[in-house]
Every structure is written in structure tokens, then in C-alpha cells.
Amino acid sequence: MSEHDHHYHGDGHDHDHDREHDRPLSGPALRVKALESLLTEKGLVDAQALDELIDTYQTRVGPRNGARIVARAWVDPAYRQRLLTDATAAIAEFGFIGRQGEDMVVLENTPRVRNMVVCTLCSCYPWPVLGLPPVWYKSAPYRARAVINPRGVLEELGDAVADDVEVRVWDSTAELRYLVLPERPAGTEGWSEEQLAQIVTRDAMIGVAQVNVPAGSAR
């Protein structure tokens, strides 16, 4: 992996967030919003159908790419090593390339280290592997509090972290995007790559949740 200027905030990092978290929408974003409103007002687009389409790409279609990468890393040690060494190239092996994913770094969770991704300035996000960013990821409270109090944020999201586990917060930029490689859950020994991919969630790849085996899942 080439040398990157990683934006890493340690656990308990006392960071001065005097940045403007609620900056106006950029020109392209404003145009998209205006177009969406116009089409909805004229009855050319159904607002509910549009919301459902966005949700599909946020939670189902987009994250499936990342889930395939995680599952492959869990079952293929050689691929895992390539992924951690040069994530951009390893991800490109799946054909997942393009805007918002030109320069990637994969962060591996371990029993002693949890990684969590945020974009404090706006909403930089690895679209080719995770799809569209969820609304909460783009919100000012998450962007500010993930750095100031990551443990508190994780606890509020139902994923409390033990005191002896280090929480590392990584700040995405326009040049560099992160993907978390979550720990493989116990009880999945012998599962196929396809089965494993089905249980990997978007939130786990952002670092705000762990991967769990659904009740009643069969091998």
C-alpha cells in the first residue's frame, strides 16, 4: 500500500471540532435536490417509490459488494492479506471500482481493537462497496460525536465496547475512503463464502456494529 495521510483519531481523542458541520449543500447536491423536488411536484416521480429505491441502494444492493469482499477475506487468507496490504487493488479484483472508491484502506477489527469510520467534514463514503451513505452517517451529530465520544455513540447504537478494547476512529476524506473488516462471528465454521456474505451488514463495515449469526441460521 502506498503511503497515505491517514486521518486517525485515537480512543478518547479530545479534538477541537470548530469546523462547520452544517455547511450548505454543494452545487451538485443542490441541483439534485431541486430536480427531485420538481419531479415530485409535477407528479413525474412518486416520493415514496423514490425513497424505497434509495433505501434499496443504501441497505441492500450497495452493501452486498462490500459483504462479498468481507466474506472472501474470511475464507481466503491470501486474499485477506492482499486486502490489508493494498485494499484498492484487492477490491478491484471484484470489479468494484469507480468514483468515491479510487483509493481505499481496509481496517481489520480484532478482539482488542475496534475500528469506526466517520467523515467529519461532509459525508465521504466508499460508494462502490457500500452503496449510498445512510442518513445518520451524514448527520452533524454523528460526524461530531463519533470523534469526541466514540464509545458513547457505539453504546447508543446497541454495540457497547468493553473497556479493554481500543476504539480507533478513522476520518474519511475526498482522497481516501475506509472499509472495516469485521471479526468473523463464532459458529460460522464450515460456512460457504456465499452464506457468510449474507450476514455481513453495512453497519458492520462502517464499524458501528458487529456481525452476528441470525437465530436459526443453518450451515
Q: Is residue 163 part of a domain?
A: yes
State the average pLDDT for the chain. Answer: 82
Which pairing describes strands 166-171 and 113-118: parallel, antiparallel, or unpaired? parallel
SS3 109: coil
Q: Cβ(210)–Cβ(183) under 8 Å?
A: yes
What is the C-alpha separation between 58 and 132, in angstroms, rounded? Answer: 5
Q: Is residue 8 part of a domain?
A: no
Q: Is residue 117 part of a domain?
A: yes
Phi, psi of 187 (to 5 degrees): 90, 5
pLDDT value at position 58?
59
Query: Is the model more confident about 17 or about 160?
Result: 160
**pLDDT category of residue 6 using cuts at 50, 70 and 90:** low
The angle that helices 62-75 and 77-85 make with each other, rounded to 10 degrees, is 120
Active site residue 119: yes
pLDDT above 80 for 23: no
Q: Is residue 215 part of a domain?
A: no
Active site residue 122: yes
Tens of pLDDT along 84-111?
999 999 999 998 776 655 789 999 999 9
pLDDT value at position 123?
81
Q: Is residue 212 part of a domain?
A: no
Active site residue 37: no
Q: Cβ(99)–Cβ(13) under 8 Å?
A: no
Entry pTM: 0.75
Q: Is residue 219 part of a domain?
A: no
Tens of pLDDT along 133-179?
888 999 999 999 999 999 999 999 999 999 999 999 999 988 899 99
What is the C-alpha separation between 18 and 16, in angstroms, rounded? Answer: 6
Domain that holds residue 141: 24-206
Catalytic residue among 26, 37, 123, 192: 123
pLDDT > 90 fraction of the chain, expressed in percent and rounded: 57
Q: Is residue 43 part of a domain?
A: yes
pLDDT value at position 173?
87
What cell numbers appear for 85 in the block?
496490504
Mean per-residue pLDDT, 15-37: 51
pLDDT above 60 for 181: yes
Catalytic residue among 26, 37, 122, 192: 122
Active site residue 192: no
Catalytic residue among 26, 37, 119, 217: 119
Of 20-34, 51-65, 86-100, 169-183, the poorest mean pLDDT is in 20-34
**pLDDT category of residue 10 using cuts at 50, 70 and 90:** low
Q: Cβ(84)–Cβ(106) under 8 Å?
A: yes
Q: Is residue 15 part of a domain?
A: no
Catalytic residue among 2, 124, 139, 172: 124
Domain count for the chain, please give it.
Answer: 1
**Of the candidates 31, 4, 9, 3, which has an alpha carbon nearest to the alpha carbon of residue 119?**
9
What is the domain-level CATH number for residue 71? 3.90.330.10
pLDDT value at position 209?
97
